[in-house]
Chain A
Amino acid sequence: MVLVDWLYVGVFAVVGTAMAALSLGIVWALAPRSDYPQKRTTYESGVVPFGQAWAQFNVRYYLFSLVFVIFAVEVIYLYPWAIVFRQLGRYAFFSMTIFLVILFLGLVYAWRKGALEWS
């Protein structure tokens, strides 16, 4: 029964988190603690931190993650096709070719419009 597989995955997640948290717990028990204000300041190459810690908005981050979402959805469609197209003959191949070409056009558009530039 396939649910057993996923039981293992769930247990692995729980045990992994527990063991990682355990290592942090060991540190909490063993490590010295001497807090003073200078130690808790944010690091900025040795000078006093300046301004709020936020980055200038630059639309390139958004564009990259957006194009990634679109192509990730495309890759999602490729996975099940990849395992069955052998049995389905040439029409399956052609339909996926059309799909890929349309999205390839999208990539070319993004490229030409400079959405993929990190400038």
Chain B
Amino acid sequence: MGQLAAFIILSAITLVATVVVVGSGNIVRSALSLVPAFLGITGIYILLQAEFVAGIQVLIYAGAITVLILFVIMLTEHGTGVRFRQVNEQVPLGMIAAGALGAFLIATFLTTPWPMATGSLPPYTASQIGTTFMTNMILVFEVTSLVLLVALIGAIVIARRER
């Protein structure tokens, strides 16, 4: 029951923050709202007994990616926070479309027979994660390093060309 309450609070935080991200006219405020959204997701990871994933969510998303986004935003002209208009004239049509999609999704979720897992959640501890990607997932792990290398080189190439 307490978990349900915690889940509701965390979801509320995440959803409100996300609405601010999408809807705010001030782009810096919208970028800063990412932080409560990420922290809400961190809380949900913790409810799923995935502590380590929660920790790295804070480290990477709230700590690194938000900083990256903020750097880029603050250094462009929009960084003055001048309210720029959301270029979205079709508000009524958009609301109808969003409402229809929402209703469709909710109907699907409620009518699908979800398989219920018995027993408690398997704990995703750091040591289990470590063992897994050193044994079962080792190829994925090495490929990840290549993906990171490609990302690094690609970004440097693009950024350098701007000079």
Taken residue by residue from 133 to 163, chain B's Cβ proximity to chain A (1 for < 8 Å, 0 otherwise) reads as: 1110010011011101101110110011011
Interface members, chain B 71-97 (any A CB < 8 Å)? 71-72, 74-77, 79-80
Q: A72-B63, A80-B127, A95-B142 are in contact. Are A58 and B75 (CB under 8 A)?
A: yes
Closest chain-B Cβ to A117's Cβ sits at a distance in Å of: 11
B46 part of interface (Cβ distance < 8 Å): yes
Which of A55, A96, A106 contacts B153, CB < 8 Å?
Answer: A106
Closest chain-A Cβ to B74's Cβ sits at a distance in Å of: 7
Number of interface residues, chain A, beta carbon within 8 A: 50
Number of interface residues, chain B, beta carbon within 8 A: 49
Which of A61, A76, A102 contacts B75, CB < 8 Å?
Answer: A61
A12 part of interface (Cβ distance < 8 Å): no
| Residues A83 and B145 in contact, CB atoms below 8 Å apart | no
| Residues A70 and B152 in contact, CB atoms below 8 Å apart | yes
- The residues of A with any CB-CB pair to B shorter than 8 Å are 2-3, 6, 10, 52-59, 61-63, 65-70, 72-74, 76-77, 79-85, 87-88, 91-92, 95-96, 98-99, 102-103, 105-106, 109-110, 113-115
